[in-house]
Amino acid sequence: MTGSGDKIGIKEYTVIAIFLIGIKVTDDIPAMLFESLQTASWMGPIISGIFTVLPLFLLLNLTKKYEEESFIDITFRLLGKYIGFLMLFFLWAFGFFYIVLDTATYTDIISTMYYVKTPTIVIYALLIGVSAYGAKKGLEQIGSVTWAIFPYLQFSLLLAIVLTIIHGNSHFLFPIFGSGEWEVIKESFMDVSIYMDFIYLAILIPYIKSTNDFRKGTWIAFSVVIFNISISTASFIMLFDYNTAMSLNYPYHETIRSIRLGFLGNLETFFFPFWLIAALIKFSIYFYINILLFGRLFKVKSFEYIIPAFATLILFLGLLPESPTFSVFNLREWIGTIISPVFFLLPIMLWIISKFKGEKRQ
C-alpha cells in the first residue's frame, strides 16, 4: 500500500476526485434528478453545489488548521475517542453499504445494456475482482493510472455531450424551473449527497504530498464535477425531453446508443470501454478508502490483507436484490435523502467545536 514516501500529488488527487464523483452522471443519478426536478434537473447539481460550498469550505478550513491530519484524526480530536468512533463507524458503514448498492447498479448496467447473455454473477465477480486488485496495488498506482487516462476519458465524455446537444432540442429545457423555484431549491438541498465523497477523500490527506494540494485539488475537482454533471444532465433532457428521460434508468447509456457521428452509428462500442475503465477506477478508490477507514477504526495495520474478504462480502450482498434496477434505485434514493443533511451539518458541527476548543485553549 502507499507508504510515507509514496504520496500522490495534486494532479493525481484532483483526477481521482473527479473520477469518483463525476462518473455518477453515467449511472442512475440523472434519473433521480429527473424524478424530483423535472426540466430543472440540470440545475440541481449547480444549486446542490452552492449548498455544498459552506460545508466544503469549513471542512477544508479544518484541514488547514490541523495540518497533515486526516479527517479520521480530526474527528477523534474534536469529538473524543468514543463519539468520534461512533461517527466514523457510521461513515464507514454507510460507505460500505453504498459500495454494495453502487457495484450492484453498475453490474446491472453492464448486464442489461451490453452483455445480456452473460450471467450476472460472472460480470459482478469480474467487476469486484478487478476493483479489489486495483485497491490492493495502492493509492500511488491508482493515482498514476487515473492521471494517465484522464484526458481520454474526459474527451470521450465531452464528445458524447457535444453530439447529444447537436442531436437535441433546447426547447425541452423549458420551463427552466420545472415545478417551481422553491421546489427546485428544496429538492436540490436533498441532493447534496452527490458531493458526499469529498468527506471520504479527506481521509487520504496523509497520503497526499501536502494538505495545500488537497485543498486546491478539491476546489478544482468540485468545479469540474459540477460542470460535467450539470451539462450532461441538460444534454439528456435536450435529447429525450424529461418525460421520456424519466422512464430511462440509465440515461447516459441510452444516449450513447442514440447519437451518431456523421455516417457512424453504434457509438456505444467507442464510449463503453472508456466508461468501464472509469468504473473500475472508481471502485478501486472506494475499496481503498473504505478499507483504510476500517483499518484505522479497528487498528488493523496491514489492512490490505482484508481486501479479498471485503470483496467477497460485497459480491455476496450485492447479488441479494432480486430486481436491482428498481430495488437498488429506491435504496440509493432513500440513502441520499438521509445522508444529505449529515453531509451538510457534520463539517459545520466539527468547525464549531473546533472554534470552541480553540477559544478554550486560549
Phi, psi at 261, each rounded to 5°:
-125, 95
* CA–CA separation, 34 and 134 (whole Å): 33
Per-residue pLDDT at 206: 93
Per-residue pLDDT at 4: 40
Of 49, 14, 34, give the one whose Cα is nearest residue 333.
34
Per-residue pLDDT at 326: 63
H-type helices in 114-263, by residue range?
120-137, 139-167, 181-189, 197-201, 211-240, 242-246, 251-258
- Global pTM? 0.92
Per-residue pLDDT at 63: 94
Contacts with 13 (C-beta within 8 Å, 6 or more apart), sequence order: 143, 201, 204, 208, 213, 214, 217
Digit-coded pLDDT (tens) for 141-175: 999 999 999 999 999 999 999 999 998 999 899 88
Per-residue pLDDT at 335: 84
Domain residue ranges in the chain: 10-361
Q: Cβ(306)–Cβ(291) under 8 Å?
A: yes
Of 79, 80, 155, 81, give the one whose Cα is nearest residue 346.
79
Residues of the chain with pLDDT under 50: 1-5, 359-362
Q: Cβ(25)–Cβ(194) under 8 Å?
A: no
CATH 1.10.3720.10 corresponds to the domain 10-361:
no
DSSP state of 86: H
* CA–CA separation, 290 and 199 (whole Å): 12
Could you give the 3-state DSSP secondary structure of residue 191? coil
Of 141, 139, 143, 67, give the one whose Cα is nearest residue 303.
139
